[in-house]
Amino acid sequence: MLIAGNWKMYKWPSETAAFCRGLVAPEGVDIVVCPPFTSIDEAVPTGLTVYAQNVHWDAEGAFTGEISAEMLLDAGARGTLVGHSERRQHFCETDETAWRRAEHALEVGLGVIFCVGESEEEREAGETEAVLRRQLELVRAHENLVLAYEPVWAIGTGKTATPQIAEEAHALIKELVGVPVLYGGSVKPENAEDLLSQPSVDGALVGGASLELDSFNAICETAARIRS
């Protein structure tokens, strides 16, 4: 089971190494941390699997503010998030550009956690399946690809999909692209067991709860208990 922590724009380099050394990977659980670019150099030497939060589709070029997969590999990162709802919402990421990023990262040897999910308006309109099908239309299975279902209405809102909603979405996603699928959306120690116990849920992409050592370790321990 995979538990990934997306730190978003939190944790300075000075905080990173000590935090990573405090994480404990229980047997049967793979831990990934996704720090800001500036903290990758501090996270890598701790021995944890480190993913970036975004990547560009070209190896180099006049793309101010972007970073390439090749640069991430050289820095010691082993993968990257792609297509997170915040990238789609605030930075005009599209299904096409997200997959371009993911495809190049996979080609050069990075792992990818590719994020999909519907908005609250889309769910209320009964469009969840159509949205997921559209977001995954270009996506092709790869041995280093993991998908993450993150309903937008549950990102940073405190709302969480019910285990049934999560299971239904994960089952559909795995039918469309046969790779592991993580659940992301206000995962906390209090709800981790119910979510991770679902048969089609292969782990979690954790946001706010990954910033606190005790809560992130608790989620990892729950995952290990379920896996055993």
Look up the pTM and report it. Answer: 0.96
CATH at 76: 3.20.20.70
Spatial CB neighbours of 113, under 8 Å, sequence gap ≥ 6: 4, 32, 34, 51, 79, 80, 81, 82, 146, 147, 148, 182, 205
Asked about 168 being catalytic, the answer comes back as no
On the CB side of 103, CA atoms within 13 Å amount to 12
Q: What is the pLDDT of residue 185?
A: 85
Q: Which of 70, 103, 118, 150 is catalytic?
A: 150
Residue 194 domain boundaries? 2-227
Please spell the DSSP secondary structure of 83-149, one letter per residue. S-HHHHHHS---HHHHHHHHHHHHHTT-EEEEEE---HHHHHTT-HHHHHHHHTSS----TTEEEEE
Per residue of the chain (228 residues), give pLDDT as tens: 999 999 999 999 999 999 999 998 999 999 999 999 999 999 999 999 999 999 999 999 999 999 999 999 999 999 999 999 999 999 999 999 999 999 999 999 999 999 999 988 898 899 999 999 999 999 999 999 999 999 987 776 667 788 999 999 999 999 999 999 999 988 999 999 999 999 999 999 999 999 999 999 999 999 999 977
Number of domains in the chain: 1
Q: What is the pLDDT of residue 47?
A: 95
What does the block give as tokens for 99?
């997959």
Q: Which of 84, 86, 103, 118 is catalytic?
A: 84
What does the block give as tokens for 211?
């910033």
Q: What is the pLDDT of residue 123?
A: 86
User: What b/e string do you get for 172-204 counting C-beta neighbours within 10 Å, with b at 16 or more?
Assistant: bbbebbebbbbbbbbbbbebbeebbebebbbbb
Asked about 150 being catalytic, the answer comes back as yes
